[in-house]
Amino acid sequence: MTTTVATAIGVDVEERTETSEQSSTAVLAAPDIPWNLVVWNDPVNLMSYVSFVFQSYFGYPEAKANKLMLEVHRKGRSIVAYGAKEQVEQHAVAMHSYGLWATVEKASSAGTGKGGARG
């Protein structure tokens, strides 16, 4: 078993391609919305996969998905969606089913995140 797989490994390449940060308008600032969905950084999830999940599940354009992914990667967390509590909780379960580490929090307790800022 080892030798067969060894050859495959030899092919190499896990490339965590970093897509250049593209500008995307400040969609995150919205007033009067009480709950945030936060995605946290971890050393396991591939950057490409995290971006794929943001595109595939939320329907975000690639530029926005990459921006949020890079924010998770560099700042340790990012607010990727907001809304009513039930709605963000549903998003959190979806993120968990993808294997992303996500939590919900009241927008007012956002702390380091910028999503809680009022527009």
Binding site for other proteins (CB under 8 A): 1-16, 38, 43-46, 48-49, 52, 55-56, 89, 92-93, 96-99, 101-105
Q: How far is the CB of 40 from other proteins (least distance, A)?
A: 9
CA 113 to each of CA 1, 12, 16, 72: distance values in angstroms, whole numbers, following the listed order:
47, 37, 25, 11
Q: Which residue lies nearer to other proteins by CB, 106 or 114?
A: 106
Judge contact between 119 and 30, C-beta under 8 A: yes
d(CA 70, CA 47): 8
Q: How far is the CB of 91 from other proteins (least distance, A)?
A: 10
Q: Which residue lies nearer to other proteins by CB, 15 or 119?
A: 15
Structure tokens at 93: 């379960």
Q: Which residue lies nearer to other proteins by CB, 27 or 46?
A: 46
